[in-house]
Amino acid sequence: MSSTPSPVWSNPAIKWVDRRMPIFSLMHKELIVYPTPRNLNYWWNFGSLAGIALVILIFSGIFLAMHYVPHEDMAFASVERLMREVNSGWLIRFIHMNTVSLFFLCVYIHIFRGMYYGSYKAPRELLWIIGVIIYFVMVGTAFLGYVLPWGQMSFWAATVITSLVTPIPLVGEELAIWLWGGFGVNNATLQRFFSLHYLLPMVIFALVFLHLWALHTTKSNNPLGVDVKKKADTLPFHPYYTMKDAFGLGVALVVLSYFIFFNPNYFNHSINYVMADPMVTPEHIVPEWYFLPFYAILRAIPDKLGGVVLMFLSILIWMALPWLDRSRVRSGKFRPVFKWFFWVWVADFVLLTWLGAMPAEGTYVTMGQWATAYYFAHFVVILPLLGWFEKTKPVPESISAAVTAGHDKEAAA
Amino acid sequence: MKTLIRIGTAAILATGLSLGGTAAQAAGGHGGPELKHPSWTFDGLFGHYNEDQLKRGWEVYSNVCASCHGLEYMHYRNLKGLGYTEDEVEAIAASFEIEDGPDEWGEMFTRPATVVDPIKEPYENDALAKLANGGAVPPNLSVMTRARDHGPDYVYSLMLGYEAGVPEWVHEEDPEFSVPPGKSFNNYFPGYAISMPQQLFPGIMEYSDGTEATPEQMAKDVVTFLQWAAEPELEKRKDLGRYVLVFLIVFTGVLYAYKREIWKNAH
Ligand code: HEM
């Protein structure tokens, strides 16, 4: 904010650098005095947590890549060798594997938080859209990474997912061959996947900076959804939110460590410890838990191309949220009807997640179709209509007014 | 509101967590008896291996399983992890002849294995393995307990899950079911017809520590050995994990107290 004066540095080295490139002033402005709404709840922790998960993934990934061999005959053995012979190799790998789940969990909560509190509404549309792009690239990165250990599920997931392009009219078959570098998933596929798996996290990292740039331009939304109007509405980022984020990180690390040290293969499929075999198709090909809802949507549609299109649309549609949601009230807190529909939609998403893990047969298929229909109806029918019909509750005139009005009011809400 | 949020999170967390499980189970479910679940020393927060049991397990492996199954990715030197001394491991290695070469005349030759050699594979290639086992390759056992759902319970149940005839419940599921020639009926193997004949019978071997070699005892010991082969890092992992968890819990508690202190007047 322009109202915060630049600090006057006393250390001569800092002074020297800062006059030529104001990096210290920038950090002071964006990380220390940065005015943050005083009423953020713990749902606002998950953005910074996701960022830390990304950093952990990049660090552990760089060390994995020192031992990993991207070759169809050696990849599986190189991962075994890493876990058995390299000092703390098992630790590096289990950190990487389990942090992926933490990363996705944080990002899902982060996205749902935005949906509940209307964080995508003006002026934060671009911030939101960059977020959805980050999610897309994450999905790609995790898919590519899962192929690298070259187990049975790696190979067959790669086969199923890359085959999704084949129903595209005219160019589908050609496109698949081009993607594979051959007539099926093969060594060339593995090598390009490794190269891209190393690249995309850096792209995510850059996108996160754009995301933060947009954030620091529009500033954080808050549980009340009202704009910051005066100084009393905010607190400096440090120490208030640095400490709150640090505590949240502590809790996340406890959970993460439990899985790393005591249940490291919990999120893994045991069959991925069988080396890839193009001649043996596993009975059920199931993606990682974080892809399951979209996998359910893919399989709900009997037409292959239709399924692929709908699966992409199911994420793309998030980008249109700022324009689909016509309500002028941001926070779900003051939208008594929306609130319920939001939770129903979350339940629908959880249902899709569960269906994604079930075999595509019998009632599961019909359930998948209804759940998919509801998923889209929420965005294209319910949200636009709610903006029209919903009687919203009165919104407090400022954050500080609501905070000083007493906590009883908050508890009742 | 608060409760709603809590229910929501609980639901998301619970599904997130249980999905790994359900997804995995979807891959291998069948209608036979439940898996047997003996108590394992390596389960739980304080899980560890017992060296006497590991050595017995190695004896079962090398007396019974090694003629068909290899332990890929492992070397004789790894056997020190079972509690054998350097000399004992050298002696074990030296009891195997392996092919080496070519020598300076371009000839392949055989020599006794040393501790740095990989553990000897029973078959030179998969084609030979198939030929000797009715068309099925005996899979590598060094990652077996990781490569099956509920690995240790599964392998234990599999070893003890043979039946002479086909039980009633199978015919209820599929009246046409019969065991093809050369295969055996097993309650736990997917499809119930397995190319590995029953292995563990009373009296097939004796333990060097005098423990009575009942089929249950041998199954339990060999599975413990295979779990060690699959997760040799387990003890180190859990030891370190306990320190890390205790540290993080205390540290997070301190952070929480400090956060409350800072926020005291800010609400
Ligand atoms: C957005 C961040 C990242 C995500 C979501 C991600 C995801 C994954 C996943 C799901 C796996 C498979 C885990 C397994 O079953 O073994 C994997 C493996 C791997 N990743 Fe990443 N990763 C990320 C960043 C990185 C980076 C930055 C590098 C290297 C610089 C890297 C290098 C590797 C390597 C070498 C493997 C194969 C070894 C193994 O399977 O353990 N990753 N990654």
- Shortest distance between the Cα of B180 and any Cα of chain A, in A, equals 21
Q: In which residue ranges of chain B is pLDDT below 50?
A: 1, 3-5, 7-8, 12-29
Q: Is the CB of A223 under 6 A from ligand 1?
A: no
pLDDT at A3 over 90: no
Q: Is A6 a catalytic residue?
A: no
pLDDT at A152 over 80: yes
The preferred substitution site among A148, A195, A268, A272 for testing ligand 1, maximizing ligand atoms within 8 Å of CB, is A148
Chain A residue closest in CA terms to B7: A343
Chains A–B, number of C-beta pairs less than 8 Å apart: 141
Closest to B141 (Cα-Cα) out of B122, B125, B163:
B122
> What tokens appear for A325 in the block?
């949601």
Chain A residue closest in CA terms to B256: A247
Tell me the pLDDT band of A99, cut-offs 50, 70 and 90: very high
Helix (H) or strand (E) holding A377: helix A363-377
- Judge whether A274 is closer than 8 Å to chain B, CB to CB: yes
Per domain, the residue ranges of chain A are 37-282, 287-319+336-391
With vertex at residue A55, the alpha carbon angle to CA A53 and CA A56, rounded to the nearest 5 degrees, is: 65
As a whole-number percent, the residues of chain A with pLDDT over 70 amount to 96
Can you give the pLDDT at residue A403?
A: 79
Task: Please state, as a whole number, how many other Cβ atoms lie within 10 Å of the Cβ of residue B3.
Answer: 7
- Judge whether B15 is closer than 8 Å to chain A, CB to CB: yes
CA distance linking residue A72 with residue A77, whole number of Å: 10
Tokens 């030759």 sit on residue: B109
Mean pLDDT value across residues A177-197: 97
Q: Which of B23, B45, B147 sits opposite A274 (nearest CB)?
A: B147
Mean pLDDT value across residues A24-39: 95
Q: Determine whether B163 is exposed, middle or buried from the number of CB atoms within 10 Å of its CB (0-12, 13-18, 19+).
A: middle
Can you give the pLDDT at residue B22?
A: 42
Sign of the torsion angle spanned by Cα atoms B27, B32, B37, B38: negative
First to last CA, chain A: 32
pLDDT at A405 over 90: no
Mean pLDDT value across residues A290-311: 95
Can you give the pLDDT at residue B30?
A: 52
Task: Please state, as a whole number, how many other Cβ atoms lie within 10 Å of the Cβ of residue A227.
Answer: 15
- Judge whether A108 is closer than 8 Å to chain B, CB to CB: yes
Q: Is the CB of A146 under 6 A from ligand 1?
A: yes
Can you give the pLDDT at residue B28?
A: 39
Sign of the torsion angle spanned by Cα atoms B200, B204, B207, B211: positive
> Does residue A407 have a known ligand-binding role?
no
Helix (H) or strand (E) holding B99: strand B97-100
Can you give the pLDDT at residue A2?
A: 45
Contact A190, A71 (CB under 8 A): yes
From the list A245, A325, A348, A390, the catalytic residue is: A245
Surface of B (191-250) touching A: CB under 8 A: 232-233, 237-238, 240-242, 244-245, 248-249
Q: Is the CB of A107 under 6 A from ligand 1?
A: no
Tell me the pLDDT band of A279, cut-offs 50, 70 and 90: very high
Q: Which of A90, A269, A346 sits opposite B8 (nearest CB)?
A: A346
CA distance linking residue A248 with residue A47, whole number of Å: 11
Closest to B121 (Cα-Cα) out of B159, B165, B75, B153:
B75
Can you give the pLDDT at residue B240?
A: 98
Mean pLDDT value across residues A175-194: 97
Q: What DSSP character marks residue B1?
A: -
Tell me the pLDDT band of A402, cut-offs 50, 70 and 90: confident
Closest to B38 (Cα-Cα) out of B152, B195, B206:
B152
* pTM of the full structure: 0.91
pLDDT at A408 over 70: no
- Judge whether B16 is closer than 8 Å to chain A, CB to CB: yes
Model ipTM value: 0.91
- Which of 2.40.50.100, 3.40.630.30, 3.30.420.40, 1.20.810.10 would CATH assign to domain A37-282? 1.20.810.10
Chain A residue closest in CA terms to B2: A411
